[in-house]
Amino acid sequence: MSTEFEIFPGKSLSGLFKDIYDNQQNKKARISELIAEMRKLIRHAGDMAVIGPILKDLVDVSVRNDDALIKLATIAQRIVTANTKSEGEVGFLSDAEKEQLLKEIEVTVNDVKDEQDAKVDELTNEVEELKQKINK
């Protein structure tokens, strides 16, 4: 199977795999940094009761985004596999089915990006509000 298959303009299957890996590593580092920063702000159990759900939401969004990227990779792999099979073999996709899968990939990519951006903005605002409350 070729990992250089172009999923959509400017993005190959190998690029998608790299994005999945890089995303996971970046989120892992960002979550660890956020937890370390939040530890400094926790002064009593009430602070943890407020900060805990924020951290939980961040981890949940991270997991959902990773799942969506893995689904994209699965769809792309199916397309590549279908391209390598001859018409008589089981599992062959028509051009219309390939096009539909590519559209699904684009929609999923946009959904993931929008959801992630919105959640990061929301969590950043909540963290700033908590910092201000704790510092008062």
Q: How far apart are the C-alpha atoms of 26 and 23, rounded to whole Å? A: 5
Instruction: Specify the DSSP element, H or E, that contains 95.
Output: helix 95-135
Whether the pLDDT of residue 1 is over 60: the answer is no
Share of the chain above pLDDT 90, in %: 0
Residue 76 · residue 105 · CB < 8 Å? yes
Residue 55 · residue 123 · CB < 8 Å? no
Q: What angle (nearest 5°) sits at the alpha carbon of residue 64, between those of residues 1 and 98?
A: 35
User: Looking up tokens 């981890």, which residue turns up?
Assistant: 59
Which residues are paired to 6 by β-bridges?
12
What average pLDDT does range 92-121 have in this prediction? 77
Residue 47 · residue 37 · CB < 8 Å? no
Q: Note the pLDDT of residue 86.
A: 53
Whether the pLDDT of residue 30 is over 80: the answer is yes
Indicate whether this model's pTM tops 0.75: no
Residue 37 · residue 130 · CB < 8 Å? no
Three-state DSSP state, 82: helix
Question: pLDDT tens across 10-22, in order?
Answer: 877 788 778 778 8
What single-letter DSSP state applies at residue 8?
A: E
Q: For residue 38, what pLDDT band results from cuts at 50, 70 and 90?
A: confident
Residues with Cβ within 8 Å of 3's Cβ and at least 6 positions away in sequence, in order, are 12, 13, 14, 17, 80
Over its C-alpha atoms, the chain yields an Rg (Å, rounded) of 20
Whether the pLDDT of residue 106 is over 60: the answer is yes
Q: Note the pLDDT of residue 90.
A: 53
Question: pLDDT tens across 64-99, in order?
Answer: 777 877 787 787 777 777 766 655 555 566 777 778
Q: Note the pLDDT of residue 49.
A: 81
Q: Note the pLDDT of residue 125.
A: 81
Whether the pLDDT of residue 134 is over 80: the answer is no
